[in-house]
Amino acid sequence: MSVRIWDGPSATLDDPQPPRMTRRSFLRGTTAAAGGLAALVAALNPLREFTQQDEFTLDQFLQKHYKEMTPEDMEKALARIRAEVEKRYGVRPHLRDVKPRAGVEFVYALNLSRCIGCRKCVYACVAENNQSRSPQIQYIRVIEMPRGTLDTEKGNHHYTHPKVPDINHFYMPVQCHQCANPPCVKVCPVEATWQEPDGITVIDYDWCIGCRYCEAACPYWARRFNFAQPDLAGDAINPDMSYLSNRPRPKGVMEKCHFCLHRTREGRLPACLEACPTGARKFGNVLDPNSEVAQILKTKRVFVLKEEVGTLPRFFYYFDERYPNSLDPEAVKIGQAIGCFPGSPAPEALA
């Protein structure tokens, strides 16, 4: 006879009847149930720390998707966010929802001949956009590239020279490329991220479910996730905010560069551009033929990063003439030979 366990006898030898509720079995069942309940409650214990956080409000839970909000809904949402920001950071923000302008398509151009890798853009962006200081979130990565390649895999994100630029490298800042064919928008299951008419891909931080599929899809590593509650120093908060850009984000959602849309849609320039000490960064409306970016696209040799992935970035890189300068020992030698540098023999002497 085979061994039967689960279907084995469930009655004792003294009690050949099917199981009955005895006092002992009742006691046993009760202790088991009570123990189980206690363990369940204890397992849920960490949730008590939740009361300190006010990020789960009913208003936010019931809030509609950005595109479905009426002006009244938006006003309500903005009022809620203003109150939250004021409560948390003690700053009354100038928060609004800035809409795109008609006839404008934003494009960024970056002159790799001018960038010196000082990372001022990175920290200007952090300050402007209320990014989390801890854990650290930065939208811009400056990559130090060895000569002879444009493959970012050969670059270095963590250079710590006492002075930049280092003569053996050039510098390539990367941020969201605001692609015309954005893979991140394609993969989002809840349409929490989309492309606006002026070409900026935005995120509704109140709609994102935090699956990080867009982060996996982005070929430029431009998206960032709030792995913890962002920590902003209260006095460092930038009160100039808009709904789709730099208002403080909750934990568990994505964020990324939005071309400072709260500034640029009101005519101003992005913070990274204004902080750049070399004028390597150029921004404007590509539909205006006289804009700086249109001129660059027309007159310079521009390229985009990873063109082969077909994302059609609105972020262009270019090189232009660079005068040989005395920082470059090779250039000094050449310059001296042709008489371009002080202390070199006069051109007539060479001839």
Per CB under 8 A, contacts with other proteins among 68-97 are: none
How far apart are alpha carbons 238 and 236 in whole angstroms? 6
How far apart are alpha carbons 295 and 104 in whole angstroms? 16
Tell whether residue 144 is a contact of other proteins (CB under 8 A).
Answer: yes
Tell whether residue 164 is a contact of other proteins (CB under 8 A).
Answer: yes
Among the listed residues 208, 237, 241, 257, the single contact to other proteins using CB under 8 A: 208
Of 78-86, 90-98, 164-172, 195-203: span binding other proteins (CB under 8 A): 164-172
Is it true that the peptide bond before 189 is cis, omega within 30 degrees of 0? no
Among the listed residues 20, 23, 102, 162, the single contact to other proteins using CB under 8 A: 162
Two tokens, residue 109: 């151009």
Among the listed residues 77, 115, 218, 261, the single contact to other proteins using CB under 8 A: 218
How far apart are alpha carbons 336 and 334 in whole angstroms? 5
Please state the closest distance from residue 258 (CB atom) to other proteins, in A: 15
Tell whether residue 59 is a contact of other proteins (CB under 8 A).
Answer: no
Length of the chain measured in residues: 351
- Give the single-character DSSP code of 180: S
| Residue keyed to tokens 């850009």 | 245
Tell whether residue 176 is a contact of other proteins (CB under 8 A).
Answer: no
Site string for other proteins, 289-328 (x = CB under 8 A): -xxx--xx--xx-----x--xxx--------xx-x-xxx-
Q: Check if the beta carbon of residue 117 is closer than 8 Å to that of residue 277.
A: no
| Residue keyed to tokens 């920590």 | 231
Tell whether residue 137 is a contact of other proteins (CB under 8 A).
Answer: yes
Among the listed residues 98, 196, 252, 319, the single contact to other proteins using CB under 8 A: 252
Single-letter amino acid, residue 249: R
In our burial notation (b when 16+ CB lie closer than 10 A, e otherwise), range 103-129 reads ebbbbbbbbbebbbbbbbbbbbbbebb
Please state, as a whole number, how many other Cβ atoms lie within 10 Å of the Cβ of residue 87: 9
Among the listed residues 21, 168, 348, 349, the single contact to other proteins using CB under 8 A: 168
How far apart are alpha carbons 196 and 181 in whole angstroms? 12
Tell whether residue 153 is a contact of other proteins (CB under 8 A).
Answer: yes
| Residue keyed to tokens 């921004």 | 283
Tell whether residue 44 is a contact of other proteins (CB under 8 A).
Answer: yes
> Looking at beta carbons only, is 78 or 255 nearer to other proteins?
255
> Looking at beta carbons only, is 112 or 192 nearer to other proteins?
192
28: number of CA atoms within 13 Å, CB side? 6
Single-letter amino acid, residue 133: R
Please state the closest distance from residue 292 (CB atom) to other proteins, in A: 4
Two tokens, residue 153: 């895999």
Secondary structure class of 270 (helix, strand, coil): coil
Tell whether residue 267 is a contact of other proteins (CB under 8 A).
Answer: yes
Please state the closest distance from residue 130 (CB atom) to other proteins, in A: 13
Among the listed residues 100, 117, 199, 248, the single contact to other proteins using CB under 8 A: 117
Among the listed residues 10, 102, 329, 348, the single contact to other proteins using CB under 8 A: 10
Among the listed residues 207, 243, 315, 316, the single contact to other proteins using CB under 8 A: 207
Tell whether residue 160 is a contact of other proteins (CB under 8 A).
Answer: yes
**All residues at 6 or more sequence positions from 263 whose CB lies less than 8 Å from its CB, including other chains:** 128, 240, 269, 270, 271
Q: Check if the beta carbon of residue 264 is closer than 8 Å to that of residue 270.
A: yes
The DSSP bridge partners found for residue 318 are 111, 302
Tell whether residue 110 is a contact of other proteins (CB under 8 A).
Answer: no
Of 60-68, 71-79, 84-92, 239-247: span binding other proteins (CB under 8 A): 60-68
Tell whether residue 151 is a contact of other proteins (CB under 8 A).
Answer: yes
Tell whether residue 12 is a contact of other proteins (CB under 8 A).
Answer: yes
Of 74-82, 83-91, 185-193, 239-247: span binding other proteins (CB under 8 A): 185-193
